[in-house]
Structure 1
Amino acid sequence: MVELLAPAGSREALIAAVESGANAVYMAGTQFGARAYANNFDEDGLKEAIRFAHLRDVLINITVNTIVDDEEIPALKEYLLFLREAGADAILVQDLGVAKIAREIVPDMPLHASTQMTVHSLEGVLALQELGFTRVVLSRELSLKEIAHICANCNVEIEVFMHGALCVCYSGQCLMSSMIGGRSGNRGRCAQPCRLPYTLVDEAGNDVLGDKAGSYLLSPRDLNTIDVIPDLIKAGVASLKIEGRMKRPEYVATVVGTYRQAIDQYLTSQIYEVDMSARDNLAQIFNRDFTTAYLVNRPGKAMMSDRRPNNRGLLIGRVTAYDWDKRLVTVKLSGRLALGDQVDFWVKVGGRVTATINDMSNVKGQKLTEAASGDTVRFAIPAAVRDHDRVFKVYDAQLMEQAKEKYASGAPVRRIPITAEVKAAIGKPLTVVLRDNAGHVGHGKTEFIGEAAKKRPLSDEVIRKQVDRLGTSVYELTELQAEISGEVMVPMSEINEARRQAVEELDAQRLAHYPLRVAEPVPFKAEAFAGKLSQPKLMVAVDNLEKMRAAIEGGADGILFGGESYEHEALTVMDYEKAWHLAKKANVRLDFNLPRIMRDDFQPFFEKILTAARNFPPAAVHVHNIAQIALVKRLTDFAIHADYSLISYNKSTLAFLKDYGVASATLSPELKWQQMEALAKESDLPLSAIVHGRLELMVSEYCVTGSFLGNVGEGACSHPCTKGRYALKDRKEALFPLRMDQFCHMHVLNSKTLSMLPHAMKFKGAGIKTLQIEAKAMKPAEITAITRAYLQAMKLPAQLDEAQEDALKRQEGMDITRGHYFRGVQ
């Protein structure tokens, strides 16, 4: 049985999810959840929510899926212990340090790997399976074929998203919100810069799309898999997940109820048909238009909501006339419209006009409460519109009222059927036995001993009336067997108390099955790197031999070679071998880089490189996710360096990496200076810090140039990225360069260059072994110059005089940023 997993950002949304048919619900407490701006649940609220769900055979998974600061670890430990005591069924984590702590203090709590872990290959799933994770949430960029392959070859549960908002970036790899606005998506505070307007420009700054596209070039449509539910189930997915912890309860009720009906229909009959009303309900409750993302194909611009980043509503008609004097519009309907609904007019000039339908008539002036497709109606609107303007219903009063019924009545909607046996006799207590379909039994009896009735003896009707008073309990009486011996009298209050006792015991039996627990927790294996690894003072990351030569000429004593090519060139085994010979001749350390995203179809190519590299071994291999650590360990005995994509943000993560066989690590660029300094003092791993370069803000399966200029989604891409450079320009005229790698992933680079040149001399004293320059986006001459500048700056005293400081600032230029070194993140 596939699980239908629903979001809940409030108690009302929880009730809506459960009453609409969810098998499980995911939610967060007031801290450590990736949706910090949802209402979320305090401790009492979580306890109540877990009891509410468990009584109804619904599981509760708690999101603890943010990156954690060292100062938060004591609170995290208390929280994890609380979650175990409260009865949570699983915790969902992103931070490997959080996973390590959870395994140590709540070892039997099931661990789910969040999509924020960027797990997009079988290798990654198997690595987490070996670590004892019970479920993995896959990246949303995978196809049905890839999902099926993973499900067929692992023993953990696989969870995939099936409905809701999409991130344009691989989840867990986005720095855009933090770098632009100081609010980190990895810390649960994403400001959604992807929903803002951008212009695609060429090297000369010219808009290359014009009116061929809208302004919201990074804003995806919403995921909707209603048509591929059978395919997801056949693929072997254990859990189908709805996104939406920021959504209102009516949204949760509508989406859960629609998918519940669709899943049940397929599982029951193996015949699958989705009626138009179900589709309309999904669109009406919220949509940015819909897509199946990458499940079926690579959709290109058809995946994007580039004209509008927010709710579109449901198209229900077009304007046929407008009365300028009375401000009355006439609309020919293609869908239902009723009083209380709200509509948006998409006007040709000025954006949109919004109106609530408080009064409506037909063309003859007769008042209407509702109208159907094909009708022509008139109503008032606050601003002018024109003929043929489209009309979208963005709020459906009737649908919202139906959805509210799922959570607002105060009484359960989906009740559990029970049977009752009641026995009453003179000289004996009255007994009540309640049974559910799962074999649970609840008993109750009166303290009062039955007496001979003087006026009104007990009857079946009286007993049914009292036993059936189940009120706001979850039960529904379907059958009653009453055995009354003689004309007996028992006070109504006593019968009510016996019923209450039976319900309480029945509750306790139903709750006894929960929470879920791991029978034999798997300890994280300790396999610390045993070799020695010299640490370069200055390492430069490059993607071709020309840039490598430039870095060597500048004096770099460490080169990080390969991975993604910003020049869209396929790096071969020969390229890595040539880099090795070049490094050996120059007597510099050489590390090999892997790409941040390595799908199953690309992995064999890098397996070939790693295997061949036994003949030209690097000092270390830089990895970007758990899958790559496992891959390098499986194929080689090379030292492993955890690059910044693995998000080393706290000492627990560094301890995990060390135990897992990692030899060194690059700290997260979201850390501020004081945090880096504190980590360096305690870390057993040699640490690096990125000090210069255009940081990657996003890595995406979606390519804006390929989608809008290169025919992606309609045919073979013409690779416009090889014919020129492009950038995204935001509302403030900032330019974010785009680089497309050899795997057609799009990398969005920061508009400003990170520079710590005036502070380069301070890192050694802070305990940072290696400074890392991200030079893949630089030209060779620039690489040589900046490398020399850092080497010279590192030799200067920690306290610079005014002349030295001014000289360094002139070298780094004006268009720079200090990143988070001195401002941190929320």
Structure 2
Amino acid sequence: MNELVTEKSLSLELLAPAGSFEAFKAAVENGADAVYLGGKSFSARASAANFDLEELQKAVRYAHERQVKVYVTANILIADQEFQELLNYLYALHEIGVDAVILQDVGVAELINKILPEMDIHASTQMTINTSWGVHHLESLGFSRVVLARETSADEMKYIANETPLEIEVFVHGALCIGYSGQCLMSSFIGGRSGNRGTCAQPCRMTYQLVNDENQNLLAQKNTGEHLLSPRDLNLAEELAELERIGIHSLKVEGRMKRPEYVATVIRLYRQAIDRIGDKREGNGVAPLLTPGEHQELLQVFNRDFTSGYFRENLGADLMSYSRPNNRGTRLGRVTQFEDGRLSIKLEAALHPGDGIEFWTGRGREGVTVGQIWKSGIEVAEGLHGETVQIEFLGIAHPGDRVFKTNDALLMEKARHSFQEGREQRKNPLTMRLSGHEGDKLCLEVMDTQRKVTVYSAGVAQRALKRPLTFDYAFQQLGRLGTTPFWLDKLELETDEGIMLPVSDLNEMRRLAVEELLQIAPRQKVDRQTYKQRIELWKQRQAEERTTLINFQKPIPQISVAVSDTSTLQAAIKGGAKRVLIGGEHWRSRRSFSLEEIKTSFADCRRQGVDCVWRLPRILNQTQSDNLLADFKKAAEWEHKPKLMVSNLSELEMMKSIDSNWPFEVDYSLNVFNEASLAYFWRLGAMKVTLSPELHHEQLAHLAKWPGAEVIVFGDLEMMVSEYCPVGATLGGKKGDHCARTCVKEPHFLRDRMRYDFPVETDEECRMHLFNVKILNLYEELAQIRRMGISTIRLQLTRQTPGQIKQIVRLFNEAWNSLNVSKKSAWTSNDGMSELTSLFPEGFTKGHFFRGVL
């Protein structure tokens, strides 16, 4: 007999990272309610050790025996050639019994919704969801949970949580990305390692200088530090009660690349903080959730300094770790003397043999592991706060140099002990009830927090001749649970006095009950044949949709020209543009389109026979979304409803809320990387879909079978969008509550260690947009692109001058028209490339057209 005991789940789930089985055990044994981890494929932390299917099965069993959930990451963009492997992998995860899969790709989400709806799916932070509108769209895709963008504030979290039945998950601790996740192409374009494919090389942790167009290092005299894109680590340990009040379900700790000791320490401390929230709620509200010593342990295990991120406000420079991108450790003391190979340190914290320490000198930093420690010439086991001790040291140091502890040997040992094999402490309490009468078999009912099992003795109870069955004796025998994930908390004994049962019977009853409790609760399973049939139906539907589109849509070869203001719009039209994309971000460096100008521009374009599309911004917070919604409502009343190009799922949902038939297109920021995603947007009514700029030419050729696929062939590649502005944070300061607008005084660039200058643009919402050094230019590949079947190419000219735009549009028009007249066109790229090179002497890049990101 196996009954389900219903109990309301805890309001806050502590979700831990695991990049290895050791880290997984560290998470479980230190109090995680759930663990997220990656398989060997399809994971956004591809360089972690990760789990093969056998290890994953072992992990799921270990977790479920301890009532811990396991979520598996498949949170990357999936290429079409990977779908068969993905389908096999998803079924394996379903059979193993994972509790959910974390996704980025909308095509994969819809796929699972059709072929494996029994599996829960969570929306990764890579989906860039930060508004209630985006969350509403995920509801229709079948998600049960959304991981909000790290840039979402407390007020926005609260509003979103109140507006959706989905579970809300937020990051509470660990490394921060400086740009919006899912929108960052920096690592991808610089080194070919894509964050959207799980291989980010973290170029944001490198050194940069802020320079102007006269090559001046604008921070040279400020001693700011050169890690201008490296944020501090997030720490919301003291905000957990607020997160509970907001309505957050899951608290996520970042760190799948971190060692097990880090996971053990951080999860232990957050577990303690969560468990203390109840005390705060019951009137002891002024006490912090962590003691000063526990905060010190959080600092010690790893920190780049801590920040609350965007939880309360945009912190500007206080968000950043300008001086170093890695672990700072904690302050240990200062050097007082150095002679004869022994270094004297005046301690501000305890020091033990095995500790890692680092000296901060005027020449840089030097680290060493502490061996022996002396005090007044006598070897000691430790040095304490306020004492001056000596250690052996072979480097260079001077009196006054600061010393930091980067590794605490005792803290690491404490962490390792918590997940050591054979010393597992994560056990669930059992309540047992042993009952029966003389002459009957005894009944043992055993309950944990979720289930109840009932077993019976092999023989009947008899009158005791020597040793009757007492409460203490029964508790002793039934409580021998050894290495099982249980401990006996309560026992009720309801038997006749003076009876006995052989100890072998008691032990066997205990064993059978535990064995039954350890059986994984039955789940709704899908047999393999049914799964295959669902897949075939899904493939058939997609093929039929593609065929229908090909038969009924004969796309006209076009060039889209994206511009950002009225003057560049006119330049594009004078250059011969017959299709324009207006709007987008509102740069501070130039005047952008007002709503009235958008209306006027549509009317002007219509008179001139130019196809016009209103291109929307990539990022909008909740307030900005409400403002855009108001503009949509006004535009819906125009004589001719404007065609929209949506850049995120929020905009798509807002538009559909006003008119489900509003004509729209999809921009590249929605990361369409495969047929499934392309089909998803076509199914919703998209007229065109701009493909991901991370696609290789062979992938583009495959997707070109779908009419209306658009490819960017020329222009600025935006590598990052961030709520943090390096210009304002380091130069502008603040005047009252308003930015000093330093960004509009002159152009700014971030210069890397190779002396490449990356242009910085700031929009009217004070977001930083970072562009690639070189312009994308596939002019020489136009003939190949046309042969693929691509009908629409885009010139992304949102930062160029009117003169440049007019010339670029003319060149591409001539080439594209020539290629469309005859497949055997005599067109060559030589003359056009010569003109383009004269416009952009710094050179070009072909992006991922040939190198891809797979």
Look up the equivalent residue of 2:369 and give its one-letter code. Answer: T
What's the offset of the Cα at 1:647? 0.9
Which of 655, 661, 673 matches 2:679?
Answer: 655
TM-score normalised by length of structure 1: 0.92
Q: Which residue of 2 aligns with 1:610?
A: 632
Give the Cα–Cα distance (whole angstroms) in 1 for the partners of residues 187 and 456 of structure 2. 58
Look up the equivalent residue of 1:318 and give its one-letter code. Answer: R
Does the Cα contact within 8 Å between 1:592 and 1:618 map onto a contact in 2?
no
Which of 89, 93, 99 matches 1:83?
Answer: 93
Which of 823, 828, 831 matches 1:804?
Answer: 828
Q: Which runs of 5+ in 1 are unaligned?
A: 518-522
What's the offset of the Cα at 1:388? 2.2
Which of 634, 656, 672 matches 2:657?
Answer: 634
Partner SS state of residue 481, structure 2:
coil
Give the Cα–Cα distance (whole angstroms) in 1 for the partners of residues 219 and 525 of structure 2. 53
Q: Which residue of 1 aligns with 2:350?
A: 336
Q: Which residue of 1 aligns with 2:521?
A: 512
Deviations 1:172-197 (A, max 9, x none): 00111111111111111111111111
Deviations 1:215-261 (A, max 9, x none): 11111110011222222222111111111111111111111111111
Q: Which residue of 2 aligns with 1:366?
A: 378
Q: Which residue of 2 aligns with 1:563?
A: 584
Give the Cα–Cα distance (whole angstroms) in 1 for the partners of residues 20 and 502 of structure 2. 43
User: Which deviates the most, 429-438 or 93-102?
Assistant: 429-438
Does the Cα contact within 8 Å between 1:54 and 1:514 map onto a contact in 2?
no
Give the Cα–Cα distance (whole angstroms) in 2 for the partners of residues 204 and 800 of structure 1. 47
Is 1:410 the counterpart of 2:432 in the alignment?
no
Is 1:825 the counterpart of 2:830 in the alignment?
no
Q: Which residue of 2 aligns with 1:379?
A: 391
Does the Cα contact within 8 Å between 2:441 and 2:456 map onto a contact in 1?
no
What's the offset of the Cα at 1:613? 2.9
What's the offset of the Cα at 1:142? 1.5
What's the offset of the Cα at 1:131? 3.2
Q: Where do residues 325-724 of structure 1 align in structure 2 (5 Å cutoff)?
A: 326-349=340-363, 351-362=364-375, 364-420=376-432, 433-436=445-448, 438=450, 440-443=452-455, 445-446=457-458, 467-479=478-490, 490=502, 496-508=507-519, 511-512=520-521, 537-566=558-587, 567=589, 569=591, 571-614=593-636, 615=638, 617=640, 620-636=643-659, 637-681=661-705, 683=706, 685-712=707-734, 715-724=737-746
Q: Which residue of 2 aligns with 1:520?
A: none
Does the Cα contact within 8 Å between 1:89 and 1:515 map onto a contact in 2?
no
- What root-mean-square deviation, in Å, do the aligned CA atoms of Structure 1 and Structure 2 show? 3.1
Q: Where do residues 720-739 of structure 1 align in structure 2 (5 Å cutoff)?
A: 720-739=742-761
Q: Which residue of 1 aligns with 2:318?
A: 302
Is 1:69 the counterpart of 2:79 in the alignment?
yes
Partner SS state of residue 377, structure 2:
coil
What's the offset of the Cα at 1:582? 3.4
Partner SS state of residue 641, structure 1:
strand
Give the Cα–Cα distance (whole angstroms) in 2 for the partners of residues 514 and 287 of structure 1. 41
Partner SS state of residue 804, structure 1:
coil
Deviations 1:544-595 (A, max 9, x none): 0111111112111111001203335453212212322332343211110110
Count of matched residue pairs: 811
Is 1:313 the counterpart of 2:329 in the alignment?
yes
Does the Cα contact within 8 Å between 1:217 and 1:304 map onto a contact in 2?
yes
What's the offset of the Cα at 1:513? 7.3
Partner SS state of residue 732, structure 2:
coil
Distance 1:5 1:712, change over 3 A: farther
Which of 130, 135, 143 matches 2:140?
Answer: 130
Is 1:816 the counterpart of 2:828 in the alignment?
no
User: Which deviates the most, 306-315 or 102-111?
Assistant: 102-111
Look up the equivalent residue of 1:227 and give its one-letter code. Answer: E
Give the Cα–Cα distance (whole angstroms) in 2 for the partners of residues 712 and 676 of structure 1. 46
Is 1:225 the counterpart of 2:236 in the alignment?
yes
Distance 1:649 1:712, change over 3 A: farther
Give the Cα–Cα distance (whole angstroms) in 2 for the partners of residues 489 and 152 of structure 1. 57
Look up the equivalent residue of 1:379 and give its one-letter code. Answer: I
Q: Which residue of 1 aligns with 2:17?
A: 7
Look up the equivalent residue of 2:410 and give its one-letter code. Answer: Q
What's the offset of the Cα at 1:604? 3.3
Look up the equivalent residue of 1:346 and give its one-letter code. Answer: W
Q: Which residue of 2 aligns with 1:244?
A: 255
Look up the equivalent residue of 2:320 and give its one-letter code. Answer: M
Q: Which residue of 1 aligns with 2:3?
A: none
Give the Cα–Cα distance (whole angstroms) in 2 for the partners of residues 743 and 275 of structure 1. 38
Which of 185, 191, 206 matches 1:181?
Answer: 191
Look up the equivalent residue of 1:123 and give its one-letter code. Answer: W
Q: Which residue of 2 aligns with 1:264?
A: 275
Does the Cα contact within 8 Å between 1:456 and 1:489 map onto a contact in 2?
no
Give the Cα–Cα distance (whole angstroms) in 2 for the partners of residues 514 and 382 of structure 1. 62
Q: Identity rate of aligned residues, in percent? A: 39
Does the Cα contact within 8 Å between 1:298 and 1:713 map onto a contact in 2?
no
What's the offset of the Cα at 1:805? 4.1
Is 1:113 the counterpart of 2:111 in the alignment?
no
What's the offset of the Cα at 1:801? 10
Partner SS state of residue 738, structure 2:
coil
Q: Which runs of 5+ in 2 are unaligned?
A: 1-10, 527-536
Is 1:42 the counterpart of 2:52 in the alignment?
yes
Look up the equivalent residue of 2:813 and give its one-letter code. Answer: L
Distance 1:7 1:61, change over 3 A: same
User: Which deviates the most, 687-696 or 575-584?
Assistant: 575-584
TM-score normalised by length of structure 2: 0.89
Give the Cα–Cα distance (whole angstroms) in 2 for the partners of residues 534 and 80 of structure 1. 36
Partner SS state of residue 733, structure 1:
coil
Partner SS state of residue 698, structure 1:
strand
Q: Which residue of 1 aligns with 2:533?
A: none
Does the Cα contact within 8 Å between 2:583 and 2:592 map onto a contact in 1?
no
Distance 1:337 1:800, change over 3 A: farther
Look up the equivalent residue of 1:600 and give its one-letter code. Answer: Q
Deviations 1:619-654 (A, max 9, x none): 621111111111122234431111101111100111
Give the Cα–Cα distance (whole angstroms) in 2 for the partners of residues 625 and 12 of structure 1. 38
What's the offset of the Cα at 1:372? 2.3
Q: Which residue of 1 aligns with 2:532?
A: none
What's the offset of the Cα at 1:749? 0.3
Give the Cα–Cα distance (whole angstroms) in 2 for the partners of residues 609 and 424 of structure 1. 75
Q: Which residue of 2 aligns with 1:289?
A: 305
Give the Cα–Cα distance (whole angstroms) in 1 for the partners of residues 524 and 391 of structure 2. 54
Deviations 1:397-448 (A, max 9, x none): 11111111221142321322224566899998787554335552252645x8
Give the Cα–Cα distance (whole angstroms) in 2 for the partners of residues 823 and 727 of structure 1. 26
Give the Cα–Cα distance (whole angstroms) in 1 for the partners of residues 395 and 675 of structure 2. 58
